[in-house]
């Protein structure tokens, strides 16, 4: 399908069985549940999916299971790697397994001094030229330790096979810079659940939001009420959503997100080492936040 980057996409966690093996059945069931709740699409092997800890064949197995479970919605796979060669190989594997687009975080191991705009432009153009599926840029300064520049994104947005960007900076100025490149063929999505409504008001067409996987109805409500012009209702939904994004996603990380999955009846399970699961006190914090938001019983 021609990927349509609009609405709310869930970057799902990667579920592991006891012992550390991939649980593709749980990923498939989670995807079905989230699409039934009104989400637009699914992202596998993103940051929330512990992408750096996955083997390449696990990424493909995860994608194939999700693709089969939700055949009628867009599914993206994280393909970013430190080498251009490996990134291209991952885009081709993603395409063969049924991905609609490739979410491509920038190479960042060597830092901003080496990963100049010229180096990044050459990398992304080579990937986009070789990729059988559209490429979505991914800027996440928290993990990259630099951000894609607005001028670089502007140039890349002109490539026929680069169709959008996920901005997880949480910086309104950076988002505004990317929005300057948005057009019919290039879409800006936010990756920050706490700023979802403000990003929509600024012009973003949706979000790839970790919080949407355990609070899908709230994310859908923010978008729906915004589109309908119901400002008060949109603000109320965002006010309920914000603590779930800030306290669980931003502060507790992947282990917190997995604990939230478990609490709402999805399969979260353990993280993969060297990450550490939440202690009981952290799980209690997650459950209290979800209860306050009305997502758990008393």
Q: pLDDT tens digits, residue range 31-68?
A: 999 999 999 999 999 999 999 999 999 999 999 999 99
Measure the CA–CA gap between 166 and 164, rounded to whole angstroms.
7
What does the angle CA 291 – CA 263 – CA 225 come to, to the nearest 5 degrees? 55
Which of the four pLDDT bands, split at 50, 70 and 90, describes residue 298?
A: low
- Per-residue pLDDT for 289 more than 60? yes
C-beta of residue 209 within 8 angstroms of C-beta of residue 191: yes
Burial annotation 171-184 (CB, 10 A radius, 16+ → b, else e): eeebbebbbebbee
* Active-site residue flag, 251: no
Sign of the alpha-carbon dihedral angle for 26, 29, 33, 38: positive
- What the block records as the tokens of 128 is 């986009």
Q: What does the pLDDT average to over 236-245?
A: 98
Measure the CA–CA gap between 259 and 247, rounded to whole angstroms.
12
Give the ranges where the chain is alpha helix by DSSP (H).
24-36, 56-69, 84-96, 117-130, 141-144, 150-156, 172-179, 196-202, 216-227, 231-243, 251-264, 280-292
- Per-residue pLDDT for 193 more than 50? yes
Which position has the higher pLDDT, 3 or 225? 225
C-beta of residue 19 within 8 angstroms of C-beta of residue 202: no
Torsion of CA 142, 148, 150, 153, to 10 degrees: -130
Query: What is the share, in percent, of the chain residues with pLDDT greater than 90?
Result: 97
* Candidate list 142, 166, 251, 258, residue with the active-site label: 166
Q: Name the helix (H) or strand (E) containing 76.
A: strand 75-78
Output the pTM of the full model.
Answer: 0.96
């Amino acid at each position: 399908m021609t990927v349509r980057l609009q609405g709310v996409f869930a970057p799902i966690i990667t579920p592991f069985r006891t012992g550390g093996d991939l649980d593709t059945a749980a990923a498939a069931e989670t995807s079905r549940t989230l699409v039934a709740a009104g989400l637009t699409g699914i992202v596998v092997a993103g940051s929330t999916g512990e992408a750096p800890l996955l083997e390449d064949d696990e990424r493909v197995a995860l994608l194939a299971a999700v693709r089969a479970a939700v055949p009628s919605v867009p599914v993206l796979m994280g393909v970013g790697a430190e080498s251009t060669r490996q990134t291209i190989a991952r885009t081709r594997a993603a395409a063969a397994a049924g991905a609609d687009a490739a979410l491509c975080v920038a190479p960042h191991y060597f830092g901003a001094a080496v990963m100049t705009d010229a180096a990044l432009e050459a990398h992304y153009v080579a990937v986009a030229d070789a990729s059988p599926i559209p490429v979505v840029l991914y800027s996440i300064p928290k993990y990259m330790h630099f951000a894609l520049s607005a001028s670089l994104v502007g140039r890349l947005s002109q490539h026929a096979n680069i169709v959008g960007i996920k901005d997880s900076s949480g910086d309104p100025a950076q988002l505004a810079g990317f929005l300057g490149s948005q057009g019919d063929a290039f879409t800006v999505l936010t990756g920050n659940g706490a700023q979802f409504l403000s990003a929509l008001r600024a012009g973003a067409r949706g979000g790839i939001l970790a919080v949407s996987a355990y609070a899908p109805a709230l994310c859908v409500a923010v978008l729906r009420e915004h589109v309908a012009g119901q400002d008060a209702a949109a603000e109320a939904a965002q006010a309920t959503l914000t603590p779930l994004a800030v306290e669980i996603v931003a502060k507790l990380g992947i282990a917190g997100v997995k604990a939230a999955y478990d609490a709402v009846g999805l399969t979260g399970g353990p993280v993969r080492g060297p990450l550490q699961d939440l202690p009981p006190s952290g799980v209690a914090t997650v459950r209290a936040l979800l209860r306050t938001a009305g997502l758990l019983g008393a």
